């Protein structure tokens, strides 16, 4: 989720003349920093051992991009743990994330392990 500005359909402005038409609301993130990159362009990913630390300027951008793909794809059953998710959906996730980040196959297991240890771990 991300905060975004939603305009007021009435276009009201404050008595001070400041533009307050609209308000900040939560909405679905599209992470344009990641997903609007030119084709063939990939973001550098900094690793510390087997742990991805993200790009230098925005360390959480990598994990946020995983979350956006998982949430917007509607492929994953959030009531099941990671091991019970469809193998094809896991491959789809890996293919999409490595299209945007500098990743090779040696990084697949540690990357997907981040997910299996998170939200899906507590599902029965």
Domain boundaries, the chain: 1-28, 31-116
pLDDT, position 110: 86
- Using DSSP's 3-state secondary structure scheme, residue 41 falls into coil
pLDDT of residue 16: 39
Its pTM stands at 0.70
Span 9-49, pLDDT tens digits:
555 444 434 445 566 656 666 788 888 888 888 999 998 88
- Mean pLDDT lowest among 30-34, 40-44, 97-101, 103-107: 30-34
- Own/partner pairs for 94-102, CB < 8 Å, 24+ apart? 96/69, 97/65, 97/66, 97/69, 99/42, 100/34, 100/35, 100/37, 100/42, 100/43, 100/65, 101/34, 101/42, 101/43, 101/45, 101/62, 101/65, 102/42, 102/43, 102/44, 102/45
Q: Is residue 5's pLDDT more than 80?
A: no
């Amino acid at each position: 989720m991300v905060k975004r500005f939603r305009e007021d359909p009435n276009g009201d402005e404050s008595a001070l003349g400041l533009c307050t038409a609209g308000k900040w609301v939560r909405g679905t993130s599209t992470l344009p920093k990641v997903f609007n990159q030119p084709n063939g362009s990939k973001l550098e990913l900094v690793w510390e051992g087997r742990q991805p630390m993200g790009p230098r300027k925005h360390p959480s951008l990598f994990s946020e991009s995983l979350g956006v793909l998982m949430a917007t794809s509607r492929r994953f059953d959030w009531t099941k743990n990671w091991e019970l998710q469809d193998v094809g959906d896991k491959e789809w996730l890996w293919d999409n994330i490595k299209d945007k980040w500098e990743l090779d196959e040696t990084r697949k297991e540690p990357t997907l392990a981040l997910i299996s240890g998170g939200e899906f771990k507590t599902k029965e």
